[in-house]
Amino acid sequence: MYAAGRMFVDQHFQEDKKLMMEELIEGIRWAFMDMLDKENDWMDEITKSKAKDKAHSVLAKVGYPDFILNDTHINEDIKRLSFSEKDYFGNVMQTLHFFAQSDIAWLRKTVPRTEWFTNPTTVNAFYSSSTNQIRFPAGELQKPFFWGLKYPRSLSYGAIGVIVGHELTHGFDSNGRKYDKNGNMDQWWSNTSISRFNDKTQCMISQYNDYNWEEAGLNVRGKRTLAENIADNGGMREAFRAYRRWVETERLGREEPLLPGISLSNNQLFFLSYAHVRCNSYRSAAAREQIQSGAHSPPKYRVIGAMSNYEEFHRAYGCPAGSAMNRGAKSCRRATWGVLDCLSLSLTVEVTGEGARQTEHCPHHSRVGREVSVLRLYPDGNPENGCNTVVTRVLWIVVATEVFGLNPVHIAKIIIYEFSSQKALFQGSRCGRLFNILFIDAVGHLPKQLRRREGTIKKHLKLERQTAPTFWE
């Protein structure tokens, strides 16, 4: 029975929403695969290969099932019902009977993986493990979840984009991992990967167990909400990475215009948009019920939990390590480098009057989520006094590399950043903070005006390998 859904689609759903959702979904699928390649250090290669197959096989359903546009189908359904304005209870019982009969009709039949039966008016999104589908009904594709082409993409990526990543991640969480790419229950993970996964989840269980929700007077149940917390954390990372890639590819690295009257960067708007989606209010009885029987953490902690674990949020809002919104060394899902080789970069940068050299070892995540060896620049060679030196112009280069040993394609990336004396040397008041950098995807894709500098750049670089097993914030 989809008559109301058909009416909603006819009046409120524009087909261009499907096109934008395709962009979001494919971008986030790419981000998931990119993270699997570059950040996942606990899954063995055979299991990882199967995970890629499953991610490629996820079917995305957007808006409405096609059959609701068939007038004959809708009319046949309506003929089976006889509602009365004077019998509300009878109408409800008829509806429940109709749904039960529709479900039973599939008994002992093969349900095509391409079918979906979510009513378009539903304001929610879903992952189906038995069909390996992610579903986004028309009711979900409106503000504050979906913002459309007239608004900065940061708003949509931060809202519906995180939701897309959330649902995709469900296919690989503590429950979704039990189903293969075709939706069949099958242990396709190796025992080693399962064991490592379970070890990793203890951090997140403990993190959410420590949150006390005042409205309920109870602590969050970290184990009960684990699958949803994994999806929240993964979805946010995937959506942000996809957004930064969209800026780099579709806008050639140029930031989107900012919203008028709001002094927030687009990265900050991304996270604000996510928090906006989770804005909610509970009475104490409803809050207690949510803790005791709900699969999700309270909305407040869906925001705090995921953001406090994520270094890109810390960077966007300048949250110091150890603060409420930056768990620092306690963060779950941090990049773990173990015994991987790190690339050390030494580079002398010419500055008016003085030289500077200070090298940080081991990769640091850039704003697009890549592994980057970062050079911190102190103009007078002294971290304490660097802010006082006048700089007229600086050209500095950092080489970014894929994680050694995990990716068969080891492509050195080059980042070039130029700034003049009119721009602030450092962001914020504290000397030594990292610059925002322009990420250029590969040497072969450098703009022509920069490509000719490639030989000169390489002469200034001295690359040294060293083993540095560590965690890197």
The residues carrying an active-site annotation are: 167, 232
What residues form DSSP beta bridges with 213? Answer: 218
Distance CA 321, CA 46 (A): 36
Distance CA 130, CA 134 (A): 11
* CB under 8 A, 24+ apart: contacts of 203-211: 203/332, 204/229, 204/230, 204/233, 204/332, 204/333, 207/305, 207/309, 207/327, 207/330, 207/332, 208/297, 208/301, 208/305, 211/297, 211/298, 211/301, 211/304, 211/305
- The distance between the two most distant Cα atoms of the chain, rounded to a whole number of Å, is 89
Distance CA 158, CA 293 (A): 28
Distance CA 251, CA 23 (A): 14
In 3D space, the residue among 308, 303, 338, 306 whose CA is nearest the CA of residue 321 turns out to be 308
Name the burial class of residue 348, with classes exposed (0-12), middle (13-18) and buried (19+) by CB atoms within 10 angstroms of its CB: exposed
HSE-CB for 312 with a 13 A CA cutoff: 28
Q: Using CA of residue 101, residue 103, residue 109, residue 114, what is the dihedral sign?
A: positive
Q: Cα 35 vs. chain centroid, distance in angstroms?
A: 10
- Strand, coil or helix: 216: coil
- Strand, coil or helix: 471: strand
Locus of tokens 């986030």: 28
What residues form DSSP beta bridges with 463? Answer: 345
Q: How many CB atoms lie within 10 A of CB 326?
A: 22
Distance CA 134, CA 380 (A): 54
Q: How many CB atoms lie within 10 A of CB 419?
A: 15
Distance CA 343, CA 370 (A): 14
Length of the chain: 473
Q: 342: Cβ–Cβ under 8 A, 6 or more apart, which residues?
A: 361, 362, 363, 373, 465, 466, 467, 468
